Structure 1
Amino acid sequence: MFKFILILGLLFNLGFIKKSELQTFHITGNTQGTTYQVTYYAKNQSVNKKEIELLLEQLDNSLSIYKPNSLINQFNESKRGIIMDKYLKDVVINSLEIYKNADGDFDFTVYPLVRAWGFGTKKIDSTPDAATIKDLLQCVGSDKIKVVKDSLIKTKSCVKIDVNGIAQGYSVDVLASFLDRKKIKNYLVEIGGEIIVKGTKPNGKQMQIGIEAPANSSYKEQFIQKIIQLKGGAITTSGNYRKFITSGTHKYPHLINPKTGYPLENQMISATVIAKDAITADGYDNALMAMTPAAALKFVEDQSSMEAYLIYKKADETVADTATVGFYKLLITKPQ
């Protein structure tokens, strides 16, 4: 399964065609353990479901740890490395860049730990002990990965990668690029809540997106807390309260700290990122989850062309939120 995200509300009118020569085309289906939708506005249907699902299948064949013979699994089972296709190379290069920029808070070599904690392709009977985690940490670290032209090389044979924290965003970008090549100027693409938009609705208004947030410190009730409008760009969210495993009376969230080897149990509840493309937003929303709220906010403010909205726990276990100045400028009070 790809990571759970919090962006759920798509608050635009898919059927609005009045006084417009543009038609609304809406394609939906299942992919990557979740759902997808492609909505575009055009005079004629120039993209169909078969084309979209062929692209998604190609992405799975490259990036999915759930496909036994996928390219990523070939790398994970190799002793030294493999030749990459375009999809894997794009994701690897972006993952290494985010790893460096975020000082290791995002690390796609965390897969041995993900599996040990039961968040991989197989269930576990018990959580790993300290000795096991210490051993597995020897196999974790993007500094153990090298890219030489089209070759992906590991310096230790035990290194394995998992791009689930960034692949859904990348898949959104791939579909968006396909629509661009088809000369479609107004669209929304969404996979599992990771979203990219371009242009406007047929009535000329910007597309609106609702962000779902925990209602209280138990994280059990959710509601649409914020609504933003975008003319272009991507928005993704990483959350740490719905997907977990239970050991005894303890619940372990699914995001793993690549530096300690243990699930993240800090103040952060969710991080929503707005960026020019979904692979950037998707990678950094994971990195922010490993930081304190103050550090995460400062990190985003120091970046160019990136905004963030953070939900976190205070010391008294109540829920609070904060955001960058640019995020607040995108907020609207009611759907239009």
Structure 2
Amino acid sequence: MKKVFNIKRIFPLLVILVLLFVWQYRKKSQKPVNFHITGTTMGKIGYNVKYIDEKTGHNYKPEIDSLLTSFNQSLSPYIPDSEISKFNSNTLLKYESEFFWPVLKESKKVFENTGGAFDPTIMPLVNAWGFGPQKSEQPDSSTIEELKKLVGFNNIFFDSLAICKLEKDVKLDFSAIAKGYAVDLVVDYLSSQGIDNIFVEIGGEVAAKGFNTAENKSWTVGVEDPTKPLDERALFTAFPLNDRAIATSGNYRNFRIVNGRKVSHTISPYTGYPVEHSLLSASVFSDRCIMADAYATAFMVVGLEKSIEIIEKIPKLEAFLIFSDRQGRLKTYVSESLQGEPLK
């Protein structure tokens, strides 16, 4: 008995095959879309996000803005009802967001690795010197000695669920790590969406992943000349940035004039006073921007010699330091693994 060819049965299969062919063709022929997204976060801090989307061509600005808004609502001490403000005003905080517990853990690591040079409990001293949300005049020596008692991780206890104070006037400030942390969060989000080539900059802190395929070269980042005034900003050098992050800290932009004297925004948790040393700028490279940001701040606290000691002790931590010698001449220190990398 002969079998009858049934076109009705074979037709749906043919349709599926044609659709698969068209989908594969469009996928192969779709050109990568280069996005450059800008905006502001953490008040007036600007951000720049570049990525190459080879799949959907989606503009992720709404999602990035939403992420940064949630982040700010958690860690900004300038927002009265933020998560950190609630802790600063009370004794106990059960975490409300996904951001608080990780930043505490990373902060404590850097605190321990730098001998306390990086310390987010420094907020009372930051306020006293006029660099925090609670503005103040220049504190006297007795006030500084009292406030120093509030500084240190020994004054707080935290686990994965909550944080509490052991001294009621302890306050936290993550300003020295927040930008780097936010950079990592944006990179992680875009990576989760299948994006492989990413460049994220927030307030000067940067992380890059993959390759700048739009210009057929590595992502690059510049380091500012710390001797130039704001209206004459110029690059001191530049580095390629492939699958790593960089954060720069310095006292050449953020300072106050008190009684005719420049007062640095970097307050030493050891002395309670603004730092004074030869280190002008610390640019730190690391796998994660949150760590680069924290170490850059710590280096501006401890100065040149101690910074080099820490750099040489911690694996995968690299730095480019700009300092002045005893004759006032500009000098640089470059980690051995970075030597030969500067582009300018």
1:55-97 deviations in Å (ceiling 9; x for gaps):
0000011000111100000110012444353201111110011
Which of structures 1 and 2 has the larger relative contact order (alpha carbons within 8 angstroms, sep 6+)?
1
Matched residue type, 2:124: P
Q: Tell me, yes or no, if the aligned pair for 1:80 and 1:156 is still in contact at 8 Å.
A: no
Q: Which has the larger radius of gyration?
A: 2
Q: Tell me, yes or no, if the aligned pair for 1:80 and 1:155 is still in contact at 8 Å.
A: no
Q: CA–CA distance in 2 between the matches of 1:101 and 1:266?
A: 21
1:39 aligns to what SS in structure 2? strand
Aligned residue number for residue 58 of structure 2: 46
Instruction: Indicate the percent of aligned positions where both proteins have the same amino acid.
Output: 34
1:271-294 deviations in Å (ceiling 9; x for gaps):
000000100100100111122312
Q: CA–CA distance in 2 between the matches of 1:25 and 1:72?
A: 33
Q: CA–CA distance in 1 between the matches of 2:241 and 2:92?
A: 44
Unaligned runs of 5+ in 1: 1-18
Distance 1:50 1:141, change over 3 A: same
Work out whether 1:184 is the aligned partner of 2:195: yes
Bigger CA drift: 201-210 or 31-40? Answer: 201-210
1:144-176 deviations in Å (ceiling 9; x for gaps):
121123111211111100000001100000001
Q: TM-score, normalised by structure 2?
A: 0.87
Q: Tell me, yes or no, if the aligned pair for 1:215 and 1:221 is still in contact at 8 Å.
A: no
Q: Tell me, yes or no, if the aligned pair for 2:101 and 2:159 is still in contact at 8 Å.
A: no
Q: Tell me, yes or no, if the aligned pair for 1:63 and 1:167 is still in contact at 8 Å.
A: yes
Bigger CA drift: 261-270 or 144-153? Answer: 144-153
Work out whether 1:288 is the aligned partner of 2:299: yes
Q: CA–CA distance in 1 between the matches of 2:227 and 2:167?
A: 45
- Aligned residue runs from structure 1 range 16-165, under 5 A: 21-32=31-42, 33-43=44-54, 44-83=56-95, 85-124=97-136, 126-165=137-176
Higher normalized helix content (fraction of residues): 2
Higher normalized strand content (fraction of residues): 1
Q: CA–CA distance in 1 between the matches of 2:188 and 2:318?
A: 22
Aligned residue number for residue 237 of structure 2: 226
Q: CA–CA distance in 1 between the matches of 2:265 and 2:231?
A: 16
2:234 aligns to what SS in structure 1? strand
Aligned residue number for residue 8 of structure 2: none
1:331 aligns to what SS in structure 2? coil
Q: CA–CA distance in 2 between the matches of 1:116 and 1:267?
A: 24
Bigger CA drift: 179-188 or 285-294? Answer: 285-294
Matched residue type, 2:190: L
Q: Tell me, yes or no, if the aligned pair for 1:85 and 1:150 is still in contact at 8 Å.
A: no
Q: CA–CA distance in 2 between the matches of 1:204 and 1:221?
A: 30
Bigger CA drift: 238-247 or 68-77? Answer: 238-247
Bigger CA drift: 81-90 or 158-167? Answer: 81-90
Q: Tell me, yes or no, if the aligned pair for 2:39 and 2:48 is still in contact at 8 Å.
A: yes
1:195-239 deviations in Å (ceiling 9; x for gaps):
0000112254211111111247x8985421111112211011011
Unaligned runs of 5+ in 2: 1-28
Backbone CA RMSD of aligned residues = 1.9
Q: Tell me, yes or no, if the aligned pair for 1:228 and 1:332 is still in contact at 8 Å.
A: yes
Q: Tell me, yes or no, if the aligned pair for 2:123 and 2:172 is still in contact at 8 Å.
A: yes
Aligned residues: 313
**1:277 corresponds to which of 277, 288, 292:** 288
**1:240 corresponds to which of 229, 240, 251:** 251
- Aligned residue runs from structure 1 range 211-222, under 5 A: 211-215=223-227, 222=233
Q: CA–CA distance in 1 between the matches of 2:287 and 2:30?
A: 28
Work out whether 1:201 is the aligned partner of 2:191: no
Q: Tell me, yes or no, if the aligned pair for 1:84 and 1:150 is still in contact at 8 Å.
A: no
Aligned residue number for residue 12 of structure 1: none
Q: CA–CA distance in 2 between the matches of 1:47 and 1:222?
A: 31
The CA deviation at 1:313 is 2.2
Q: CA–CA distance in 2 between the matches of 1:183 and 1:268?
A: 40
Bigger CA drift: 76-85 or 319-328? Answer: 76-85
Bigger CA drift: 263-272 or 162-171? Answer: 263-272
Q: CA–CA distance in 2 between the matches of 1:54 and 1:84?
A: 16
Q: TM-score, normalised by structure 1?
A: 0.89
Bigger CA drift: 102-111 or 312-321? Answer: 312-321
